[in-house]
Structure 1
């Protein structure tokens, strides 16, 4: 990987082969299983039909899930680098290695309910994800631990929308990561089909989202916009999900607006 490619992927891509601030062997085994599972792959493709083809929303399929999972694990890693403690797995008597598994599985399955309906999909996701977890978790856990991991994953899935309050920091990571998929590529399909809703238009204004360690905060989220339309994504979606995530005191959001020549116009802390 070139220096440029490595810089561009920083805070964006979780790489199993790299060193992390948490025990990652169990996570990497689970990821290998999930990424090669035909049933999950089919769900991720099918869940985009209601969201995009029938409702005209932004992408909620396999690409969205990949981005959210990568961002969630990068966010989790940055928080762990700063010594932030997580409570979900710990309070269930599970191991630290299970924290990342909970985050990854919830990020993978959080939108599966779209196969039923876009509206209230987080609630439809629960029974569908439960069935998938009953199939996946016995590959890696004994029955008691599988039950506890399942509960934590379902909690994180339910709380990825703002209607429900996350009670764990693992759930907070998934909630925030879902909103971090806001770059213009996410709105490509509905935009090409003529969709001009606020979600689509505001996504078109987001050029780049990066995650990095901050000077005064464990995590700095820097969002590069080409127009003020992107503020909707940042203020109405990302900030709303950061609120009550149990992580708001650790994350700083900065929006940078640049003109067409990439000259800085404004830098705003939100």
Structure 2
């Protein structure tokens, strides 16, 4: 197994500082740290390292991260989702973490010979792809400030003036600027699979969004009184690692401190792998730490549209990802021979 490209590590409840690397080094490990400002600082450092050699993407990032409208959008999206709905973080920290994750995924895909749609179509080059993926990912959730319902479409409307303002000095030619903008808006519109993304760039945004499932994201919602499957299951995820895969360009490894984290993997991350153009290029694995709470599931891997679960009892269970959480629980109950009515 190769060294990780991206690691969001909250193991044992302690968050550790980033381990710096040389710009454009083939190996990177990022461990985000608290408090909130520190999380953004470490994500910013990782993003800037990945944008070395991509001047248009870096210029766009500099403009975005200091844009007062974007800053207000992130804060208001977080206010509605966390304070009014009791959801996990959807604000500035989430934007920066998923932005860093998206660039890690993009770099691995490019290294694996995958041609994003901007390049495949002849519209732009690698610099344009980095710019598109980063802006689309960092702006993907701002529509939540209006309402969670239809937040993807609200996000497109709200992102338009920000994108136009950022792109105009970078792309003086209206024709190309409009085409690049369409890819960015596609990332925003399709990040939650409603509708599913059609481009590699939008698929990267969706998968990067799905990787932000650790307990750092759920802790504040839990502290604010939101005790539900989303906050509880997020507290069960210690670490997400993005690295070069064995059989595919990208491998995502999820480490849980107990089996409750399966909800995050099954409901949040896995659909964003199998229902995007990245399905052919991403391996997804999850496991529980032996020293964690009493275990039911020890290891999970994605096989097509099914999870293959290795239970602590030694049994193996296959579950369709698109099925409900109740079906997953039923399959586990049957394998463990508990809670099943005998005939």
Corresponding residue of 1:98: 128
Corresponding residue of 1:242: 273
2:155 to 98, 105, 125: 125
Structure 2 residue 135 is matched with structure 1 residue 87: no
Separation in structure 2 between the aligned mates of residue 200 and residue 16 of structure 1, nearest angstrom: 31
2:255 to 224, 228, 251: 224
Corresponding residue of 1:136: 166
- Identify, as 1 or 2, the structure richer in helix: 1
Is residue 10–residue 212 contact of structure 1 (8 Å, CA) maintained in 2? no
Residues 26-35 or 51-60, more deviating: 26-35
Structure 2 residue 39 is matched with structure 1 residue 9: no
Separation in structure 2 between the aligned mates of residue 126 and residue 3 of structure 1, nearest angstrom: 34
Corresponding residue of 1:168: 199
Residues 236-245 or 50-59, more deviating: 236-245
- The change in CA–CA distance for 1:17 and 1:86 in structure 2 (over 3 A counts) is same
User: TM-score, normalised to structure 1's length?
Assistant: 0.91
Is residue 17–residue 31 contact of structure 2 (8 Å, CA) maintained in 1? no
Offset of 1:151 from its aligned partner? Answer: 0.9
Separation in structure 1 between the aligned mates of residue 90 and residue 142 of structure 2, nearest angstrom: 9
Separation in structure 2 between the aligned mates of residue 236 and residue 88 of structure 1, nearest angstrom: 30
- The change in CA–CA distance for 1:158 and 1:43 in structure 2 (over 3 A counts) is same
User: TM-score, normalised to structure 2's length?
Assistant: 0.72
Offset of 1:5 from its aligned partner? Answer: 2.2
Offset of 1:38 from its aligned partner? Answer: 2.0
Structure 1 residue runs without a partner (length 5+): none
Larger radius of gyration: 2
The CA RMSD over aligned residues, in Å, is 2.5
Separation in structure 1 between the aligned mates of residue 169 and residue 262 of structure 2, nearest angstrom: 43
Is residue 57–residue 127 contact of structure 2 (8 Å, CA) maintained in 1? yes
Is residue 118–residue 125 contact of structure 2 (8 Å, CA) maintained in 1? no
Separation in structure 2 between the aligned mates of residue 84 and residue 221 of structure 1, nearest angstrom: 17
Superposed CA offset, 1:189-225 (max 9, x none): 2100121111111100000001111222211111000
Structure 2 residue runs without a partner (length 5+): 1-15, 21-27, 33-41, 303-343
Separation in structure 2 between the aligned mates of residue 105 and residue 87 of structure 1, nearest angstrom: 16
